[in-house]
Amino acid sequence: MEVGMKYRLMADLTFDDEVTLWQLRDALLPFVKKAKRLVVANDVLDSGFVELHRCFHDETPARLCEVIRRIEVGEV
C-alpha cells in the first residue's frame, strides 16, 4: 500500500453548452487514470470521481440535476 501525502482537486463548474462539458471530461481522463483511491478507515475506500450532470436548478420549476455519466477512479 502506498503511504504518504496525497493531494486532492475538487471542482464544481457549470457551462452553457454541453460541448465544453465533454471537452473537459476528455481532458481529465488521463488524470483520472493516475488518481489513487484512499483508504479512510477499516479498509473502506474513498474513491474519487468525475460526474457529468444536466443541471435544471435555474428552470421554473427547478429540478434536481440529472447524472449523464459518472467515472470512478479505477474504472478507466
pLDDT in tens, 58-71: 889 999 999 999 99
Question: Measured between alpha carbons, how far is 72 from 57 in angstroms, rounded to an integer?
Answer: 25
Say how many CA atoms lie within 13 Å of 38 toward its Cβ.
10
Q: Is the pTM of this model over 0.75?
A: no
Q: How many CA atoms, within 13 angstroms, populate the side-chain half-sphere of residue 7?
A: 3
CA angle 67, 75, 41 (to 5 degrees): 95
pLDDT higher than 60, residue 3: yes
